[in-house]
Structure 1
């Protein structure tokens, strides 16, 4: 009898534990989904980053950037942040193709940082990667010639192991390139009026209103915030005064992907991607951007109406567990408020610019890249290792595949590439232009074709990596050098780079 009572009590305890565990599992499952549809009060005018002032010195366009600590109001009081030339984010740098630029980067923080020019074609020692360190209190002054099509690029830190923290704290900004030969004059182009940068980032906050950078427990991708800030503004609205407005969308988040569309289902023209305008405008109602990707869209509005830019659940290709990495989240991002009277703007032309195609037959080399866990081709980042060395003025095809169930994307420094194939087929229209970052759904193979021109330096590397910053910091990155024809890679002396970190 006593044994039966003990077994009965034990059975009750086990049943209770199972019930509690099941309830906890359901609770954990349910809380992974964030949906702010209809819940955002758009009460704050969208902050538009100012154009960075510049000056001409010895035929060079000179900019000044200062990385500094400050505070910013996300609607939760004074939140400690970092920014360039201000408390959060940075000004928009703008230069023309053919110009020689100098950017004086002063580090007024209490720790080392870097500034990488994401999407820019430039010499490796000017790239701002993890070897071009800027120590606290020092200034780094990279200089290069702008030689690529008109495009929406951006800049952000790239300190190995610390990139996620520095970007999340607020160090980022846009860098626009102008070039009449690769622009379409009919597109909206008056900065801050009908041509608007839209830097989208997600944030979490602790009980004191400070930024919470703790990674998610289950997702494995780092920070997934429940609050959206656009150009640092929470609950933003944009007063639109023209028939059409060009939004330069930048996914400046650490890990989250967005599938942008409008709440009323209206269609818009996708006119540009990472590296410049498309050959033809693509009318669509969605554009998905993973971390680091950009898209330029032109939206038509009617007098007096309002519509909301929304991020719908992105198709990450990760199955039911995508909810742990943001795959089932919905966010109201930005409200567009059209004025009662709108200034006329031309229709978006169907044909935009010529996009020269890189040919498979011209490829001198093919390489394979397998992304899994925190590795690329089974290896993690080593600051002194050169993984391979393309020759200057050669074309290569890189075959890239995500071999695990995690969201990964792939970013290459220095070059803009073209997506040659996706799973053996021609890419969709949104991947038909110049790209420097591409999302990799699990078990899909992408062929990327690129040409290495202008710069050869056997001793200073460029990076390739996953731009989910938690993965990048954990080692999902590699290095390549571009060498002269017949050349060999040198030896990467990171100690020398560290010694040079002080600059002046």
Structure 2
């Protein structure tokens, strides 16, 4: 089923378009490649092979331009890592040291942010770390994260939306040696499947839109992509060879909310939120992902299952709707063991002695604010200072009637309350990105561990990328104290 409800006018300054386009692609040489037409088979991003030497694994990436079919049958100018659109998947191992040699061939400044990773501020890829065309950035760090699904994307001031919607995004899988990880599917592309969902906006000539002027244009279309393949008119297929399959879900859209569900109304077993495993498996019928969020689900399949993406507009205008994006055909003959009843231990914070802060998301016309300041330059944005070892509870208040997706760099957080209600179910997991509805609020708690720096800062911002570019971003300085 492919349904779309087009919204004829502006919903509200700062609300989002739905849909995203794309296709499977074949990279030709040089600065990119031309995407092939979408096929019915789910394209699985290549696994980027690292080179191990002297205790360090090196990954090589190039941010480049190219062409792809974002709107079916139409060539669009795009960007990608090592290819024309999107990028390969990286696998990091907890405890290893990694080095990333990232070359900028875009013709403009860029950064690469490792979304959700607990890394030093000097390696975080925020706007302070922008690097020019023709240069290579080479951060190195120890992987301190446990098993989880992360992703990487640009984060330069004022150009994040433009570069990300044109294709600069890729998945990171962190592996560890826990019993839980050993008990779960982990064969990449076989029973461990990346699912990168995007909702974009384009004119019929293939010009991808990324800012207010573009989204207010006439004659726009709103394609939906799964791993770069346009699913507007095609339901992709994945032929399962195992009974139990793990799906890593990423909402890489610039602004829209995506809810993943089964077309038959059946359940999925959610095993992870943004920041890794839940305390125990949770039977769910839907997984709601705001822009930038991730989740992991497993399904034991004896019959074919079709996954749907229910898209809710979150920025200016567009098409909300329901899309059958992936049919998984059952083909496994094995009988998997029961899932572990406990996936990890999550000790809930006692926040009675935590330092309290209030963060206010605001708006002045088309300018977006945090605590009354527009983060359109490093000097103008609000700067929050804390110290290594500090434990804090933040009340994030949405002073607008717009949808926001609040993202914190550096450390994971626990939800303490959501719009005044206690968290429950999967909300008891760890997060780095969470929805703040218009007029609503969330309370989050975190502890600042491992990394301090007197020069480089982390960021906190709305992950509706247009809102970030319009100023809804502040800096976070963690010092020794």
Question: Normalised by the size of structure 2, how large is the TM-score?
Answer: 0.86
Matches for 1:383-402 after TM superposition, within 5 Å: 383-384=378-379, 387-402=383-398
Q: Match for residue 308 of structure 2?
A: 310
Q: Match for residue 142 of structure 1?
A: 139
Residue pair 2:373, 2:382 contacting (<8 A) in 1 also:
no
5+ residue gaps, structure 2: 1-5, 21-36
In structure 2, which of residues 340, 345, 359 is the aligned counterpart of residue 369 of structure 1? 359
- Whole-Å separation in 2 of the counterparts to 1:66 and 1:137: 10
1:101 Cα offset (Å): 0.7
SS in 1 for 2:384: coil
In structure 2, which of residues 179, 191, 195 is the aligned counterpart of residue 194 of structure 1? 191
In structure 2, which of residues 159, 162, 170 is the aligned counterpart of residue 162 of structure 1? 159
- Whole-Å separation in 1 of the counterparts to 2:238 and 2:174: 24
Q: Match for residue 449 of structure 1?
A: 445
User: Does residue 343 of structure 2 align to residue 352 of structure 1?
Assistant: yes
1:159 Cα offset (Å): 0.8
Residue pair 1:186, 1:347 contacting (<8 A) in 2 also:
no
Q: Match for residue 50 of structure 1?
A: 46
Q: Match for residue 268 of structure 1?
A: 268
Q: Match for residue 27 of structure 2?
A: none
Matches for 1:215-226 after TM superposition, within 5 Å: 215=212, 226=222
1:464 Cα offset (Å): 0.3
In structure 2, which of residues 228, 231, 246 is the aligned counterpart of residue 232 of structure 1? 228
SS in 1 for 2:161: helix
Residue pair 2:19, 2:223 contacting (<8 A) in 1 also:
no
Q: Match for residue 415 of structure 2?
A: 419
Residue pair 1:245, 1:298 contacting (<8 A) in 2 also:
yes
Residue pair 2:413, 2:444 contacting (<8 A) in 1 also:
yes
**Cα 1:148–1:34, aligned 2, differ >3 Å: closer, same or farther?**
closer
Q: Which moved more, 1:383-392 or 1:186-195?
A: 383-392
**Cα 1:51–1:423, aligned 2, differ >3 Å: closer, same or farther?**
same
Q: Which moved more, 1:189-198 or 1:172-181?
A: 172-181
Matches for 1:198-209 after TM superposition, within 5 Å: 198-209=195-206
SS in 1 for 2:411: coil
- Whole-Å separation in 2 of the counterparts to 1:26 and 1:256: 14
Matches for 1:303-342 after TM superposition, within 5 Å: 303=303, 305=304, 307-312=305-310, 314=312, 328-339=320-331, 341-342=332-333
- Whole-Å separation in 1 of the counterparts to 2:8 and 2:317: 16
Residue pair 2:414, 2:444 contacting (<8 A) in 1 also:
yes
Say which structure is richer in strand.
2
Q: Which moved more, 1:365-374 or 1:270-279?
A: 365-374
Q: Match for residue 29 of structure 2?
A: none
Number of residues of Structure 1 aligned to a counterpart in Structure 2: 443
User: Does residue 465 of structure 2 align to residue 475 of structure 1?
Assistant: no
In structure 2, which of residues 59, 67, 82 is the aligned counterpart of residue 85 of structure 1? 82
User: Does residue 441 of structure 2 align to residue 434 of structure 1?
Assistant: no
- Whole-Å separation in 2 of the counterparts to 1:416 and 1:182: 22
Q: Match for residue 96 of structure 2?
A: 99
Deviations 1:392-451 (A, max 9, x none): 011111111212211101101111111112234321222211100000112322111111
The runs of at least 4 aligned residues of structure 1 exceeding 6 Å deviation read 32-36, 216-220
Residue pair 1:256, 1:326 contacting (<8 A) in 2 also:
no
Q: Which structure is higher in RCO with an 8 Å CA cutoff and minimum separation 6?
A: 2
**Cα 1:258–1:326, aligned 2, differ >3 Å: closer, same or farther?**
farther
5+ residue gaps, structure 1: 1-24, 317-321, 486-504
In structure 2, which of residues 400, 406, 411 is the aligned counterpart of residue 410 of structure 1? 406
Say which structure is richer in helix.
1
Question: Normalised by the size of structure 1, how large is the TM-score?
Answer: 0.82
Q: Match for residue 248 of structure 1?
A: 248
- Whole-Å separation in 2 of the counterparts to 1:206 and 1:356: 49
User: Does residue 63 of structure 2 align to residue 71 of structure 1?
Assistant: no
- Whole-Å separation in 2 of the counterparts to 1:34 and 1:480: 31
**Cα 1:403–1:195, aligned 2, differ >3 Å: closer, same or farther?**
same
- Whole-Å separation in 2 of the counterparts to 1:313 and 1:413: 26
SS in 1 for 2:352: helix
Deviations 1:196-217 (A, max 9, x none): 1100001333333343446488
- Whole-Å separation in 2 of the counterparts to 1:428 and 1:260: 19
SS in 2 for 1:330: strand
The CA RMSD over aligned residues, in Å, is 2.8
**Cα 1:417–1:42, aligned 2, differ >3 Å: closer, same or farther?**
same
Q: Match for residue 295 of structure 2?
A: 295
Residue pair 2:180, 2:340 contacting (<8 A) in 1 also:
no
Deviations 1:331-377 (A, max 9, x none): 222222223x54433333332111233321342x1110111221111
